Amino acid sequence: MRIVRRKTELEAALAQWRAAGGSIAFVPTMGNLHAGHLHLVDTAKMRAARVVVSIFVNPTQFGPGEDLAAYPRTPELDVERLRDHQADLLYLPDAADVYPDDGQPATFVEVPGLSEQLCGKFRPGHFRGVATVVCKLLNRVRPDLALFGQKDFQQLTVIRKMVRDLDMAVTIMGVPTVREPSGLAMSSRNAYLSPEEKEHASLIFHTLSRAAEAVREGERDYPRIERKATEALEAGGFTVDYVSIRRQRDLAAPSAEDDALVILAAAHLGRARLIDNILISLDTTR
Ligand code: PAF
């Protein structure tokens, strides 16, 4: 696996591969790689001739008072894991490489509508930072395919919309969430949990699973389901930002005709802010 730290080196390596033909898949990450990230790499390997991974803890997607400084960084371990999973190239830039001009970009990518709701309401500016860095990384790597975890479902929706609106020539693939045996979604932020909290944190998955089951069984009072799920999490010691049932396509409130829904939640436990979601497919012809 080649490791490059500068945009110019990245472009030179990619130019060689492009000249030789063959497709390129890209997995952007913030590092501290866990089984969820490695599943993205494995999926990418099956779909393209070359796999590029980036590790960059992007400052523009963290708000003031958020965990930018504390975000877990494990570069040596990440390199080892990526070698084991046969990634072809790791792009490991610093902030000056991604954001020249003293880290002060004048241009940002905004995806209004999708970005201010759900997590965006609690993390103002977060999706602007995500869309901007993902746009820059996609412009640098110019992959055929880019893979993102479905755990960050709102992020995936924002990125799909950006790519569509800006005519970016890349296929975006959402990859199902990888979970701990307890059901807890894999996340770098699980590192903030004590072993007891980590075990308890699976309540978020079990609560969403119960709510999703109620919808599948025909319950249509979504505010009631959301309220019940919120209460269950609060009773379990979580501080809940939201539990919400939306349609998958654009995260709008579902109508009776919508058959592809998602129930999403964000909640705090100890030092960690956790997010999770479950996709729901309904048979609306019944
Ligand atoms: O999901 C992440 O790890 C980040 O938000 C991403 C997509 C790498 C952008 O910094």
The pLDDT tens digits for 174-187 are 999 999 999 999 99
Residue 181 in domain: no
pLDDT of 286 reads 59
Q: 203 and 165: one domain?
A: no
Residues 171-203 as b/e (b if ≥16 CB within 10 A, e otherwise) read ebbbbebbbbeeebbbbbbbebbeeebbebbbb
Q: For position 50, which CATH number holds? A: 3.40.50.620
Q: Whose structure tokens read 């997607």?
A: 61
Residue 263 forms beta bridges with which residues? 245, 278
The reply to whether 169 and 28 lie within a common domain is yes
Coil/strand/helix, residue 227: helix
Largest CA-CA distance found in the chain, in angstroms, rounded = 58
Q: From CA 142, how far away is CA 26, in angstroms rounded?
A: 9
Q: Which of 131, 148, 175 is the last residue of a domain?
A: 175
Protein residue with its CA nearest to atom 3 in ligand 1: 29
Shared domain check, 124 and 20: yes
- Over residues 121-163, the pLDDT tens digits come to 999 999 999 999 999 999 999 999 999 999 999 999 999 999 9
C-beta 36 within 6 A of ligand 1: no
Q: How far is the CA of 130 from the centre of ligand 1 (A)?
A: 6
Examine residue 48 and state whether it is found in any structural domain, yes or no: yes
The answer on 221 and 84 residing in a single domain is no
pLDDT for the residue 3: 98
Residues 27 and 99 in one domain: yes
Residue 105 has pLDDT above 90, yes or no: no
Is residue 64 scored above 80 in pLDDT?
Answer: yes
Residue 282 within any structural domain of the chain: no
The domain in which residue 97 lies consists of 2-175
199 and 165 in a common domain: no
30 ligand 1 Cβ < 6 A: yes
β partners of residue 107? none
Q: Is residue 145 part of a domain?
A: yes
Kindly list the distances between the CA atom of residue 276 and the CA atoms of 73, 80, 148, 177, 208, in Å, as whole numbers in the listed order: 22, 28, 14, 9, 8
Active site residue 37: yes
The Cα 53–Cα 24 span in angstroms is 11
Q: Pick the last residue of a domain from 143, 175, 207.
A: 175
Q: What is the pLDDT of residue 219?
A: 96
Q: Is residue 182 part of a domain?
A: no
Whether 89 and 123 share a structural domain: yes
Tokens, residue 16: 């060689």
Question: How many domains does one find in the chain?
Answer: 2
The answer to whether residue 284 is domain-embedded is no
Q: At what angle do helices 222-235 and 203-216 cross, to 10 degrees?
A: 160
CA-closest residue to ligand 1 atom 5: 130
Q: In whole angstroms, what is the distance from residue 123 CA to residue 101 CA?
A: 25
At 242 the pLDDT is 98
127 and 197 housed in the same domain: no
pLDDT at residue 284 is higher than 80: no
Of 140, 175, 210, which residue sits at a domain end?
175
Residue 78 lies in a domain: yes
Domain harbouring 247, CATH code: 3.30.1300.10
Q: What's the confidence (pLDDT) of residue 236?
A: 98
Residues 131, 23: one domain? yes
pTM for the complete prediction? Answer: 0.97
- Ligand 1 center from residue 149 Cα (angstroms): 9
- Whether 63 and 194 map to the same domain: the answer is no
pLDDT of 285 above 90: no
pLDDT, tens digit, 9 for 90 and up, residues 193-241 = 999 999 999 999 999 999 999 999 999 999 999 999 999 999 999 999 9
pLDDT of residue 103: 81
Any ligand 1 atom below 6 A from CB of 156: no
Place of tokens 């209004």: 112
Whether residue 60 sits in one domain with residue 166 = yes
Q: For residues 170 and 201, state if they share a domain.
A: no
Query: Cβ(130)–Cβ(154) under 8 Å?
Result: no
| DSSP-assigned letters across all residues of 100-156 | TTTT--S-----TTTSSSTHHHHSTTHHHHHHHHHHHHHHHH--SEEEEETTSHHHH
The answer to the question of residue 183 being in a domain is no
Residue 283's pLDDT is what? Answer: 81
* Distance from the alpha carbon of residue 171 to the mean position of ligand 1, in angstroms: 17
